[in-house]
């Protein structure tokens, strides 16, 4: 359904051209790097009204609005737009595809200029820190010195944490949704099974499938099916499928359609990056947010068993340890982890109030949990 | 570690020889059927002290004691033996491998006498009802008219339910542990992903891999890894693996070693049987246990998110609806679903008291939950 609105277009920024490659956390170099990004709303004169939105594992730069010909809008369209949580009448919103991704930003499926062929598993190991460092480069290019806010859920929330740890002086406020400072063994385990499913697929060809006529479709589909179960709750599945069947064909469909829009090697690289991330690694939980002056809103969802609330509370604890002005709310939802994508109204209420108070300088908002 | 005890041996009973094949629930015929079983303790004169133990998904007839040369005893050895929960000084304990299995009882990897080759997916569809009906045949062969008790966890618990529904007059008491009258969409979903992983493996060869030099090892390993995550709890995984790594290699090891001891087609057939089972299908939850005079003990575990306590409570509700003498206890454990295999002491306390009271005819025991 196309509306009579102006369509959004993905833009691209390429940097780190050899010999000035981008230095990854491992010390390896990568370049050139192209970043796919979109913007919504208008920057003010000082570009001080920018909100950076960070996408989750399978997301992309297309967070809001419509691409010409699309059947659905961007993945967080319910949250970004005029009068919405991230109000584009007030804020300049930026979202970019992560490093290692497959939606326009350089990743394993990109052509390696040195060989003229796709990187495959020749793509260097990347970290969540690298993803955020690349976002910093994009913002510098866009002339944005300090973010009014930075927000994201799930893997997006991990990146928000990294922004606070790596660039505390460049963030005025942060919204951290349904995430963890470090993945639990259970979270790592689910991702590991997905990785094993992909690598078990003979069409994976040790990551070198771009030259072949096939992709590791079955393995990637299995990986996605596992993900889907963890994104929903026991209750939301029962609500959707009742006591009858239908869940098998639904999962199979979700698995297959994912193959059309996601690259198996990106799955491997990105899940490894989020599994090895630990926001407390640098200075420990007690000092991670030392000297941070940003105001922080932490949100979790009651039925989210993939990123349970205790992980969000650990982030709140880290804030409190160093006197960071943090507000926490556990939102009552039955949608499981998917709630950060589906519960627009409940999040909007909390986020728009939070951003208003950051704007006006009021602090220490406390919501009923 | 071999003790100075007498070793147990698996025994075999073959019946349903053509033309007197066993009639499956679907109407199809199967025969001959071999059942692998073990017994512990001694039957009394009337064989009225028999307890039938029903194994879980990947279990077998070897529930207790030691096979010569084994490095570990049967899967419920902590529960079955002299002075244990199922006290072999008092009771005659029987355990058999389920129909469709791969541990001695006829299943897809058995030779089809009509072709001289393994059944593969030519094996007929089986149901949980069929598994129980085969157990009934074994007990008739053993001269056991009425069970003093029937007990099992997980898939074993589903079979206990079926015993109560199908043969209410042949059961004096029942112990139903960590199970559900019907799988939820989430439970079905996890099994479905396992099935898809197996069928995605090219070595599966549409179920006809017995003639080839390989088995669908990678797919079966992935399926088992998923299972393993669901058997543990978030907390027990964190306790085992801490904040460090190790969970990936642990899962990979568990997946690989499962391939050596389980048949991929059995995985498909058995998970389909448990996914389609519904104890209430016949007469509904309100009347399922009508005319049942057996005493029932229902146990669940606090951290078991695969078979959550609300599913056990539904079974208790069905008992209460028809006045069945049912006792329920949610055991405090951090082990997740695995608790029914690991929490021997806590279960022993409850089960031995329950069986003593069934023996002595005292009813309406209520434990603190």
Question: What confidence tens digit (pLDDT) does each residue in A79-91 have?
Answer: 999 999 999 999 9
Residue B176: predicted pLDDT: 98
The Cα B108–Cα B137 span in angstroms is: 20
Q: Do residue B305 and residue A305 have CB atoms under 8 angstroms apart?
A: yes
The DSSP bridge partners found for residue A117 are A112
pLDDT score of A213 more than 90 = no
Q: What is the pLDDT averaged over residues A127-153?
A: 98
CATH numeric code, A186-276: 1.10.1740.110
| Residues of B with a known catalytic role | 154, 304, 337
Q: Which fold has domain A11-182+277-360?
A: Rossmann fold (3.40.50)
**What are the residues of chain A with a beta carbon less than 8 Å away from any beta carbon of chain B?**
182, 184-186, 188-190, 192-193, 196-197, 200-202, 218-219, 221-222, 225-226, 228-229, 232, 234, 237-238, 240-243, 245-248, 251-252, 255, 278, 305, 308
Q: Do residue B192 and residue A247 have CB atoms under 8 angstroms apart?
A: yes
Chain B residues within 8 A of A240 when measuring between CB atoms:
185
Q: Bigger pLDDT: A369 or A98?
A: A98
Count of CB contacts below 8 A, A vs B? Answer: 113
Is the pTM of the predicted complex or chain greater than 0.90? Answer: yes
Residue B242: predicted pLDDT: 87
The separation between the first and the last C-alpha atoms of chain B, rounded to the nearest angstrom, is: 37
Q: Do residue B200 and residue A192 have CB atoms under 8 angstroms apart?
A: no
Give the pLDDT means over successive 10-residue stretches in chain B (369 positions). Answer: 72 97 98 98 95 98 96 97 97 98 98 95 97 98 98 98 98 98 97 98 96 94 98 96 85 96 98 97 93 96 98 98 97 98 97 96 56
Residue B173: DSSP 8-state: E
- Nearest chain A residue to B308, by CA: A234
Catalytic residue, from A154, A266, A303, A309: name it: A154
Residue B78: how many other CB atoms lie within 10 Å: 18
- Nearest chain B residue to A230, by CA: B186
Whether the complex's predicted ipTM surpasses the cut of 0.85: yes
- Nearest chain B residue to A195, by CA: B222
Residue B15: predicted pLDDT: 98
Strand duo A80-81 + A86-87: pairing: parallel
Specify whether the CB–CB gap between A112 and A119 falls below 8 A: yes
Catalytic residue, from A87, A304, A325, A338: name it: A304
pLDDT score of A364 more than 60 = no
Nearest to B193 among A182, A226, A243 (CB): A226
Residue B6: predicted pLDDT: 81
SS (H, E, C) chain A: CCCCCCCCCCEEEEECCCCCCEECCCCCEECCEEEEEEEECCCCCCCCCEEEEECCCCCCCCCCCCCCCCCCCCCCCCCEECCCCEECCCCEEEEECCCCCCCCCCCCCCEECCCCEECHHHCCCCCHHHHHHHHHHHHHHCCCCCECEEEEECHHHHHHHHHHHHCHHHECEEEEECCCCECCHHHHHHHHHHHHHHHHCHHHHHHCCCCCCCCCHHHHHHHHHHHHHHHCCHHHHHHHHCCCCCHHHHHHHHHHHHHCCCCHHHHHHHHHHHHHCECCCCCHHHHCCCCCCCEEEEEEECCCCCCCHHHHHHHHHHHHHCCCCEEEEEECCCCHHHHHHHCHHHHHHHHHHHHHHHHHCCCCCCCCC
Q: Do residue A247 and residue B222 have CB atoms under 8 angstroms apart?
A: no
Specify whether the CB–CB gap between A45 and A145 falls below 8 A: no
**What are the residues of chain B with a beta carbon less than 8 Å away from any beta carbon of chain A?**
182, 184-186, 188-190, 192-193, 196-197, 200-202, 218-219, 221-222, 225-226, 228-229, 232, 234, 237-238, 240-243, 245-248, 251-252, 255, 305, 308
Chain B residues within 8 A of A186 when measuring between CB atoms:
229, 232, 234, 237-238
Question: Which one of A193, A214, A338 would you mutate to disrupt binding with B, by most B Cβ within 10 Å of its Cβ?
Answer: A193
Domain boundaries of chain B, sorted by first residue: 11-183+278-360, 186-276
Residue B320: predicted pLDDT: 96
Chain B residues within 8 A of A192 when measuring between CB atoms:
225, 247-248, 251-252
Specify whether the CB–CB gap between B175 and B354 falls below 8 A: yes
Residue B142: how many other CB atoms lie within 10 Å: 17
Residue A1: predicted pLDDT: 44
Residue A197: predicted pLDDT: 98
Specify whether the CB–CB gap between B334 and B303 falls below 8 A: yes
Question: What does pLDDT average to over chain A?
Answer: 95
Chain A residues within 8 A of B252 when measuring between CB atoms:
192, 196
The Cα B308–Cα B178 span in angstroms is: 8
Q: Do residue A243 and residue B192 have CB atoms under 8 angstroms apart?
A: no
Instruction: Mention the CATH class of domain B11-183+278-360.
Output: alpha beta
Q: What is the pLDDT averaged over residues A202-221?
A: 95
Chain B residues within 8 A of A184 when measuring between CB atoms:
234, 237-238
**φ and ψ at B213, to 5 degrees?**
-85, 0
The Cα A86–Cα A99 span in angstroms is: 24
Q: Do residue A247 and residue B188 have CB atoms under 8 angstroms apart?
A: yes
Residue A91: how many other CB atoms lie within 10 Å: 22
The Cα A290–Cα A111 span in angstroms is: 41
Specify whether the CB–CB gap between B216 and B204 falls below 8 A: yes
pLDDT in tens, A99-131: 999 999 999 999 999 999 999 999 999 999 999
Q: Do residue B251 and residue A189 have CB atoms under 8 angstroms apart?
A: yes
Residue B168: predicted pLDDT: 97
Q: Do residue A192 and residue B248 have CB atoms under 8 angstroms apart?
A: yes
Mark whether A58 is an active-site residue: no
Q: What is the pLDDT averaged over residues A51-72?
A: 96
Residue A6: predicted pLDDT: 81
Q: How far is CA B263 from the centre of its chain?
A: 16
Specify whether the CB–CB gap between B208 and B121 falls below 8 A: yes
Residue A362: predicted pLDDT: 66
- Give the pLDDT band of residue A361 (cuts 50, 70, 90): confident
Chain A residues within 8 A of B247 when measuring between CB atoms:
185, 188-189, 192
Question: Which one of B182, B184, B185, B304 would you mutate to disrupt binding with A, by most A Cβ within 10 Å of its Cβ?
Answer: B185
Q: What is the pLDDT averaged over residues A211-226?
A: 96
Buried b (16+ CB within 10 A) or exposed e, A310-335: ebbebbbebbeebebbbbbbbbebbb
Nearest to B186 among A182, A197, A234 (CB): A234
Question: Which one of A200, A256, A336 would you mutate to disrupt binding with B, by most B Cβ within 10 Å of its Cβ?
Answer: A200
């Amino acid at each position: 359904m196309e509306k009579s609105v102006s369509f959004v277009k993905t833009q691209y920024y390429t940097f780190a051209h050899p010999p000035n490659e981008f230095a990854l956390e491992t010390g390896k170099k990568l370049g050139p790097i192209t970043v796919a990004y979109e913007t919504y709303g208008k920057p003010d004169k000082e570009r001080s009204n920018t909100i950076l939105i960070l996408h989750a594992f399978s997301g992309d730069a297309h967070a809001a609005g419509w691409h010409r010909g699309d059947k659905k809008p961007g993945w967080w369209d319910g949250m970004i737009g005029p009068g919405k949580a991230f109000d584009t009448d007030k804020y300049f919103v930026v979202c970019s595809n992560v490093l290692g991704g497959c939606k326009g930003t350089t990743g394993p499926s990109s052509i390696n200029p040195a060989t003229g062929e796709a990187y495959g598993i020749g793509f260097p190991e990347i970290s969540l820190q690298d993803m955020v460092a690349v976002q910093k480069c994009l913002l510098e290019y866009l002339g944005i010195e300090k973010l009014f806010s930075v927000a994201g859920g799930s893997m997006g929330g991990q990146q928000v944490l990294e922004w606070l740890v790596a660039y505390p002086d460049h963030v005025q406020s942060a919204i951290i949704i349904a995430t963890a400072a470090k993945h639990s063994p259970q979270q790592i385990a689910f991702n590991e099974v997905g990785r094993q499913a992909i690598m078990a697929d003979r069409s994976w060809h040790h990551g070198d499938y771009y030259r072949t006529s096939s992709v590791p479709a079955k393995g990637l589909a299995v990986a996605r099916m596992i993900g889907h179960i963890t994104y929903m709750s026991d209750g939301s599945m029962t609500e959707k499928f009742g006591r009858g069947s239908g869940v098998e064909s639904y999962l199979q469909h979700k698995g297959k359609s994912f193959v059309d829009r996601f690259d198996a090697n990106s799955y491997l690289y990105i899940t490894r990056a989020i599994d090895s991330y630990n926001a407390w690694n640098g200075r420990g939980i007690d000092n991670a947010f030392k000297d941070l002056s940003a105001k922080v809103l932490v949100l979790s969802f009651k039925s989210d068993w993939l990123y349970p609330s205790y992980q969000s509370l650990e982030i709140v604890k880290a804030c409190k340890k160093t006197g960071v002005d943090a507000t926490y709310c556990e939102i009552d939802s039955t949608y499981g982890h998917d709630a950060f994508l589906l519960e627009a109204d409940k999040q909007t209420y909390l986020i728009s109030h939070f951003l208003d108070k950051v704007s006006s300088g009021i602090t220490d908002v406390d919501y009923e949990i």
